[in-house]
Homo-oligomer: A and B are copies of this chain.
Amino acid sequence: MVSHAFFAATSVEPTAEGHYVGEVREGWSIADNANGGYLLAIAARAMCHASGRPDPVSVTAHYLRPARPGPVTVDTEVVKTGKTFTVVRATLASDRELLSLLGTFGTLHGDGELAPAPALVDAEPPDLPSVERCVPMPATDGFPPPFMANVDLRLHPDDATFLQGIKSGYARMRGWFAFPDGEPVDTIGLLQATDAFPPTIFNADLPVAWTPTVELTAHVRARPAPGWLRCSFQTRFVTGGFLEADGEIWDETGRLVAQSRQLALVPRG
């Protein structure tokens, strides 16, 4: 039995042309604020519906304010419908605007389908020990946060020592991602996966605790095959009061299925 908790928690209902209602559920928060990937997924589900296309191709969200559990609306506007893509802009709001978004939607290739040639892959999936040998993130009322009950993360042991207060010294997080109830990760679920891991900065030798997201862009390359996703998030530049976190998500067949980059603020420690 698969309960599809993520699908339920990100579902939206159209109430008028381009207008959707949904709900930020309890349990998807980190330090009382809803997780950014979760909010992105709610908004993208509405945008995807409005586009009439099955998949997000490139979606950007600018984070305006923290979100608490409760009803939300997504107002969408189709900017352009072309032969291949539809471009949609949107606003996710509660009583105030929370996220401003812009995205291109289309039809991506699925597992086992012949992808268009030509192809070049100058990288490899992150090298991870088996799921069983990686480190789960248990949900608690404090840290790790309640959100961790809704995603199943298994961290690379080398990147998980921060849980015991020992930073790896490398600003990265690698691990496996799945939904705990076995819900398959679709292309909206991939957006959740781009912002579900602990911040890369938790492993850097820097006095930084909290890095609010300014902007996150996700490119989805393909529909993932069923199974665990191999994920890698890395920060190379903490400069000028900002950091970027670059994500790569690969499916179990070894295909890159998404890339992401977020820009976050680095408050003075």
- The chain A residues found within 8 Å of chain B, CB to CB, are 57-58, 60, 62, 64-65, 79-80, 82, 84-85, 87, 89, 91, 97, 100-104, 108-109, 115-123, 171, 204, 206-208, 214-215, 217, 219, 221-222, 235-244, 255-256, 259, 261, 263, 265-266, 268-269
Candidate in A65, A122, A244, A256 with the most chain B CB atoms within 10 angstroms: A122
Cβ contact of A241, chosen from B115, B219, B243, B269, cutoff 8 A: B115
Residue of B whose beta carbon sits closest to that of A109 = B240
Residues of B within 8 A of A84 (CB): 265
User: Is B100 touching A240 in the complex (CB atoms < 8 A)?
Assistant: no
User: Is A100 touching B116 in the complex (CB atoms < 8 A)?
Assistant: no
A-B contact pairs, 23 of them (CB 8 A): A57-B263, A58-B215, A62-B79, A62-B87, A64-B82, A64-B87, A84-B265, A87-B100, A100-B102, A102-B102, A116-B268, A118-B208, A118-B238, A118-B266, A120-B206, A121-B239, A122-B235, A122-B237, A215-B217, A215-B219, A217-B217, A219-B261, A239-B256
User: Is B263 touching A261 in the complex (CB atoms < 8 A)?
Assistant: no
Judged by DSSP, the binding face of A is strand
| A262–chain B nearest beta-carbon distance, Å | 9
| A88–chain B nearest beta-carbon distance, Å | 9
User: Is B171 touching A120 in the complex (CB atoms < 8 A)?
Assistant: yes
Name the 9 nearest CB pairs between A and B, nearest first: A120-B238, A58-B215, A60-B60, A118-B206, A102-B102, A116-B241, A122-B236, A221-B240, A79-B100
How many monomers of this protein are in the complex?
Answer: 2
| A173–chain B nearest beta-carbon distance, Å | 14
Residue of B whose beta carbon sits closest to that of A60 = B60
User: Is A102 touching B60 in the complex (CB atoms < 8 A)?
Assistant: yes
Residues of B within 8 A of A219 (CB): 215, 242, 244, 261, 263
Distance in angstroms between the alpha carbons of A126 and B243 in the assembled complex: 20
Residue of B whose beta carbon sits closest to that of A61 = B102
Given known contacts A116-B268, A120-B236, A219-B263, what 7 new A-B pairs fall within 8 Å (CB)?
Answer: A58-B214, A84-B265, A119-B239, A120-B243, A122-B236, A221-B240, A239-B255
Residues of B within 8 A of A243 (CB): 120
| A196–chain B nearest beta-carbon distance, Å | 20
Residue of B whose beta carbon sits closest to that of A96 = B80
Distance in angstroms between the alpha carbons of A122 and B168 in the assembled complex: 14
Residues of B within 8 A of A89 (CB): 89, 100, 102
| A236–chain B nearest beta-carbon distance, Å | 4
Residues of B within 8 A of A263 (CB): 57-58, 219
